[in-house]
Amino acid sequence: MFKTFKSDLAIIRERDPAARGLLEILLCYPGFQALSLHRISHKLWQYHLPLLPRLLSQINRALTGIEIHPGARIGQGVFIDHGMGVVIGETTEIGNRCLLYQGVTLGGTGKESGKRHPTLAENVVIGAGAKVLGAINVGANTRIGAGSVVVRDVEANSTVVGIPGRVVHQSGVKINPLAHSALPDAEANVIRNLMERIDQLENQVNALQICLEDVTDGRSPQDIQSGESQNLKDREIIEFIGDN
């Protein structure tokens, strides 16, 4: 137990530049406080004591704003940053050195008994407000972007964004777990590709119409040339997807 507490303290000092001392972490970090109380309630849960573990988890929720079912299994070096609104269900399993931001839900689906909550491997980062639902597996070193909703298994070394969550692999690239600005904008990329394709097709249709007019008038047809993407100049589109 002492080793686990020590690892929880160490990960906060490693990943949070605002942590200036041991006493500050003990008194002012609800994520650390919530995990510490949870580890006690989890021990009581393993002894099959009635009511007391659940009561302790409710006290934990009232004090920290973080709701962790006493049945959840949480590894060492886990960091819940800020933590308000975090919900972790009964059969959740969280690996070592995972990072959860505020508003994260590790929830279940359906009313079946047994395993119904997610399993996170080591070094998983889940952004603010993200929801990971069901008895799914999230591979090691995976990042889930803020506000994403994940309902399917995720392979290791992946980045997940969007609703529903879509996977973008980051093989061979070392990424800072705190660098949320590095997440790809999948929706903007798809829209940009579709608009470029539409422009290409429009240019081809216009060129074919000109060729048809030339042939009708007895002139030699001109070569088909693709013009600049006009649709991407529209102000509304640029404001939505950016100009890069």
Q: Quick one: pLDDT at residue 161?
A: 84
Pair (111, 131) in one structural domain = yes
pLDDT of residue 121: 92
pLDDT band for position 221 (cuts 50, 70, 90): low
Tell whether 50 and 146 lie within a shared domain: yes
How many structural domains compose the chain? Answer: 2
- Tell me the pLDDT tens digit for each residue of 51-101: 999 999 999 999 999 999 999 999 998 999 888 999 999 999 999 999 999
Is 196 found in the same domain as 137? no
Are residues 120 and 40 both part of a single domain?
yes
Whether residues 98 and 43 share a domain: the answer is yes
**81 with 16: CB under 8 angstroms?**
yes
Residue ending a domain, among 164, 182, 200, is 182
Q: Which residue has the higher pLDDT, 234 or 47?
A: 47
Whether residues 191 and 173 share a domain: the answer is no
Predicted confidence at residue 165, as pLDDT, reads 75
How much is the pLDDT for 173?
Answer: 53
- The answer to whether the pTM exceeds 0.85 is no
Q: Residue 202: give the domain boundaries.
A: 186-241
Cα distances (Å, whole numbers) of residue 91 to 100, 136, 189: 17, 11, 36
* Token pair 């003990």 in the structure block, residue: 26
Compute the residue count for the chain. 244
CATH number at residue 156: 2.160.10.10
Higher-pLDDT residue of 242, 80: 80
pLDDT for 175:
52
Question: Taking 90 as the threshold, does the pLDDT of residue 138 lie above it?
Answer: yes
52 and 39 within one domain: yes
**144-193 confidence digits (pLDDT tens):** 988 889 999 988 888 888 888 777 665 545 555 555 555 556 666 667 77
Q: Which two tokens stand for residue 217?
A: 């008038």
